[in-house]
Amino acid sequence: MASRPRRPRAAAPPRDGLARRRLPMRLLLPMLVLVALVAMLMLRGYVHSEILADHRIQPEAATDKVPEKILEGGPVIDTRSGRATSLRVPDHRLVLTFDDGPDPTWTPKVLDVLAKHHAHAVFFVTGTMASRYPELVDRMVREGHEVGLHTFNHPDLSYQSDKRIDWELSTNQLAITGAAGIRTSLFRPPYSSFADAMDDKSWPVTEYIGSRGYITVVNDTDSEDWKKPGVEEIIRRATPHDGKGAIVLMHDSGGDRRQTVQALDRFLPGLQSEGYKFENLTEALGAPSALTPVTGPELWQGKAWIFLVRVSDDITGVLVVGLAVIGALVIGRFALMLLLSGIHARRVRRRGFGWGPAVTEPVSVLVPAYNEAKCIENTVRSLTASEHPVEVIVIDDGSTDGTARIVESLGLPGVRVIRQRNAGKPAALNRGLANASHDLIVMMDGDTVFEPATVRELVQPFGDPRVGAVAGNAKVGNRDSLIGAWQHIEYVMGFNLDRRMYDVLRCMPTIPGAVGAFRRSALERVGGMSDDTLAEDTDITMALHRDGWRVVYAENARAWTEAPESVQQLWSQRYRWSYGTMQAIWKHRRALVERGPSGRFGRVGLPLVSLFMVVAPLLAPLIDVFLLYGVVFGPTQKTVVAWLGVLGIQAFCAAYAFRLDRERMSHLISLPLQQLLYRQLMYVVLLQSWITAVTGGRLRWQKLRRTGAVAAPGGPGQRRRTHHAGDRRPVA
Measuring CA to CA, which residue among 87, 100, 96, 86 is closest to residue 121?
96
pLDDT of residue 283: 95
Is 218 in the same domain as 343?
no
Q: Are residues 210 and 331 in the same domain?
A: no
User: For residue 467, what pLDDT is reported?
Assistant: 96
Question: Is 45's pLDDT higher than 70?
Answer: yes
pLDDT for the residue 711: 54
- Listed as own residue / partner, the contacts of 205-212 with beta carbons closer than 8 Å and 24 or more positions apart are 205/157, 205/158, 205/165, 206/77, 206/79, 207/79, 207/84, 208/162, 208/165, 209/79, 209/157, 209/165, 209/169, 210/77, 210/78, 210/79, 210/80, 210/82, 210/84, 211/79, 211/80, 211/82, 212/166, 212/169
How much is the pLDDT for 22?
A: 57
pLDDT > 90: what percent of the chain?
59
| 682 pLDDT above the threshold of 80 | no
pLDDT, position 466: 95
Q: Are 463 and 440 spatial neighbours (Cβ–Cβ below 8 Å)? A: no
| Three-class secondary structure of residue 296 per DSSP | coil
Render pLDDT for 599-619 as a digit per residue (tens, 0 to 9).
Answer: 999 999 999 999 888 888 778
Dihedral sign, Cα of residue 660, residue 664, residue 667, residue 668: positive
pLDDT (0 to 100) of residue 723: 38
Reported as type and span, the H/E element at residue 433 is: helix 425-435
Alpha-carbon gap, residue 474 to 495, rounded angstroms? 9
Q: Does residue 12 form part of some domain?
A: no
Q: Is 326 within a domain?
A: yes
Strand-strand pairing, 182-184 and 291-293: antiparallel
- Tell whether 579 and 650 lie within a shared domain: yes
Residue 395 inside a domain? The answer is yes
pLDDT surpasses 90 at 679:
no
What pLDDT, on a 0 to 100 scale, did the predictor assign at position 37?
82
CB within 8 A of 217, min separation 6: which ones? 75, 76, 77, 97, 122, 124, 148, 186, 187, 188, 247, 281
Residues 159 and 290 in one domain: yes
Q: What's the CA gap between 363 and 438, in Å, rounded?
A: 6
**Averaged pLDDT score across all residues of the chain:** 87
pTM for the structure as a whole: 0.71
- Beta strand extents in 246-357 (DSSP E only): 246-251, 277-278, 291-293
Bigger pLDDT: 98 or 703? 98
Q: How many CA within 13 A on the CB side of residue 681?
A: 19
Q: Which residues pair with 550 in a beta bridge?
A: 467
Looking at residue 381, the DSSP 8-state letter turns out to be H
Q: What is the CATH number of the domain that holds 689?
A: 3.90.550.10
Mean pLDDT over 278-299 rounds to 96
Is the CB of residue 186 less than 8 Å from the CB of residue 122?
yes
Q: How far apart are CA 537 and CA 547, in angstroms?
A: 16
Using an 8 Å Cβ cutoff, are 84 and 164 in contact?
no
Per-residue pLDDT, 557:
94
Q: Does 112 reside within a domain?
A: yes
* Cβ partners under 8 Å of residue 351, min gap 6: none
Determine the pLDDT at residue 725: 36
The span from the first CA to the last CA of the chain, in angstroms, equals 20
382-429 pLDDT tens trace: 999 999 999 999 999 999 999 999 999 999 999 999 999 999 999 999
Would you call 305 helix, strand, or coil by DSSP?
helix
Taking a C-beta distance cutoff of 8 angstroms, is the pair 195, 71 a contact? yes
Confidence of residue 481 (pLDDT cuts 50, 70, 90): confident
Q: Do 507 and 365 fall within a single domain? A: yes
Is the pLDDT score of 118 beyond 90?
yes
Higher-pLDDT residue of 45 and 528 is 528
Pick the residue with more confidence: 186 or 355?
A: 186
pLDDT score recorded for residue 706:
53
pLDDT tens digits along 183-200:
999 999 999 889 999 999
What are phi and psi for residue 291, nearest 5 degrees? -100, 130
Three-state SS for 204?
Answer: helix
The neighbour count for residue 189, using CB atoms within 10 Å, is: 24
Instruction: Write out the DSSP string of 10-64.
Output: PPPPPSSHHHHHPPPHHHHHHHHHHHHHHHHHHHHHHHH-STTS----PPP---T
Say which amino acid occupies 316. Answer: T
- What is residue 522's predicted lDDT score, i.e. its pLDDT? 96
203, 345: one domain: no
Measured distance CA(216)–CA(78) in Å, rounded: 6
Dihedral, 594, 463, 382, 529 alpha carbons, nearest 10: -20
- pLDDT score of 148 more than 50: yes
The residues near 264 (Cβ < 8 Å, ≥ 6 apart) are 96, 110, 113, 114, 250
Is residue 89 within 8 A of residue 115, CB to CB? The reply is no
Do 108 and 172 lie in one domain? The reply is yes
- Residues 442, 512, single domain; the answer is yes
444 in the same domain as 513: yes
Q: What is the mean pLDDT of residues 158-173?
A: 94
Residues 6+ apart with CB under 8 A from 227: none
pLDDT in tens, 553-574: 999 999 998 777 777 778 778 8
Q: Considering only residues 648 and 721, tell me which one the structure prediction assigns the higher pLDDT.
A: 648
pLDDT interval class at 726 (50, 70, 90): very low
DSSP-derived secondary structure letter, 240: P
- pLDDT-based confidence at 39, cuts 50/70/90? confident
Domain membership of residue 44 (yes or no) is no
User: Residues 48, 99, 199, 727: which is the catalytic one?
Assistant: 99
pLDDT confidence tier of residue 715, bands split at 50, 70 and 90 = very low
**Among 288, 730, 392, which residue's Cα sits nearest to residue 531?**
730
The mean pLDDT value for 218-241 works out to: 95
Confidence of residue 8 (pLDDT cuts 50, 70, 90): very low
Q: What local confidence, expressed as pLDDT, does residue 568 receive?
A: 78
The reply to whether 657 falls in a domain is yes
Query: 687 and 586: one domain?
Result: yes
Q: Which residues pair with 560 in a beta bridge?
A: 449, 475
607 exposure class (CB count in 10 Å sphere: 0-12, 13-18, 19+): middle
For position 388, what pLDDT does the model report?
Answer: 96
C-alpha 102: how far from chain center:
32
Compute the residue count for the chain. Answer: 732
Share of the chain above pLDDT 70, in %: 90
Q: Which of 96, 76, 95 is nearest to 87 (CA)?
A: 76
Range with the lowest mean pLDDT among 261-270, 445-454, 629-638, 723-732?
723-732
Helix, strand, or coil (residue 558): strand
The mean pLDDT of 69-97, rounded to a whole number, is 94
Is 1 a domain residue?
no
Task: To the nearest 10°, report the CA torsion of 556, 561, 565, 567.
Answer: -70
* Statement to judge: residues 286 and 324 lie in one domain: no
CATH of the domain at 211: 3.20.20.370
* pLDDT value at residue 713: 58
pLDDT in tens, 616-660: 877 877 887 888 888 888 778 888 888 888 888 888 988 988 988
Residues 691 and 570 in one domain: yes
- 122 pLDDT higher than 90: yes
Average pLDDT over residues 255-282: 96
Task: Name which of 203, 170, 169, 162 is nearest 77 in CA terms.
Answer: 203
Residue 331: pLDDT band with limits 50, 70, 90: confident
Please indicate, yes or no, if residue 398 is contained in any of the structural domains: yes
Distances (CA, A) of 279 to 95, 121, 276, 322, 650: 6, 6, 9, 48, 63
Q: Of 48, 120, 154, 251, which one is the catalytic site residue?
A: 251
Q: Which domain holds residue 366?
A: 320-352+359-695
Per DSSP, what are the bridge partners of residue 364? 391, 441
Q: In the chain, how many domains are there?
A: 2
Q: Does 99 qualify as catalytic in the annotation?
A: yes
Contacts for 108 with CB less than 8 Å, ≥ 6 apart: 136, 139
Model confidence at 716, pLDDT cuts 50, 70, 90, reads very low
Give the integer Cα–Cα distance in Å for 512 and 171.
57
* Edge-to-edge strands, sheet with 363-369: 415-420, 390-397, 363-369, 440-443, 516-519, 467-476, 550-561, 449-450
Which residue, 337, 322, 178, 395, is CA-closest to 624?
322
